[in-house]
Amino acid sequence: MESSGGYELLIGARIKQHRQSQGLSMRELGRRTDLSVSFLSQVERGLVSVSISSLRKIADALDVSIMFFLDDRVNDDPIVHAGNRRIEIPPGFSDYIEVISPNLGQKAEVILAHMSPGSSYAAQPLKAPTDECIYMIQGSIKIGLDGKDYKLNPGDSVCFKGNSLTGVHCVSDENASWFWVITPPEF
């Protein structure tokens, strides 16, 4: 697919920079992704558009979120000011999250999750295994892990493998908020 311009150049430059920062040859990236070296070279030079499925393979091979390549707000600024947080409603989530980690290329993602009373989150299949930790700030949630439910109150924390999460439910009469650390990034 022929390139239409600037965005392909940005994505290609990010792929090349991240590949080189990890000391990977294009041949090794091709082996890890099952994509040809010729195609990868064209992608890195912004000569072709890359499909989401190919970009996901590249992101997985480079151990970053696919959003590292797509989000034009990625930068090296270590500060994320309150008004500049990325707000998302992930699949299966009834309320919203704020991404508070500064750079989508990092090994871990820190989010501030919010859930209103009675709301639930049905866990979605993960693209890769994750390690996760939740620290409750306000309200109470019930978290399902491997078929068992646990109640978390302010100050409580839990760490778990991401694939063990079955869901989260706000069980308090007030909004619940918690820090959620995920590695590698998933949202």
d(CA 21, CA 37): 18
Instruction: Mark whether 66 and 16 lie in a shared domain.
Output: yes
Q: How confident is the model at residue 128 (pLDDT cuts 50, 70, 90)?
A: confident
- pLDDT confidence of residue 3: 42
Tokens of 103: 């750079």
Residue 138 pLDDT exceeds 50: yes
Determine the pLDDT at residue 104: 56
Residue 76 lies in a domain: no
Range of the domain at 111: 82-183
Q: Is the pTM of this model over 0.75?
A: no
Domain containing 24 — which CATH number?
1.10.260.40
pLDDT per position as a tens digit, 30-44: 999 999 999 999 998
Residue 77 lies inside a defined structural domain of this protein: no
* Reported confidence tier of residue 73, pLDDT bands at 50, 70, 90: low
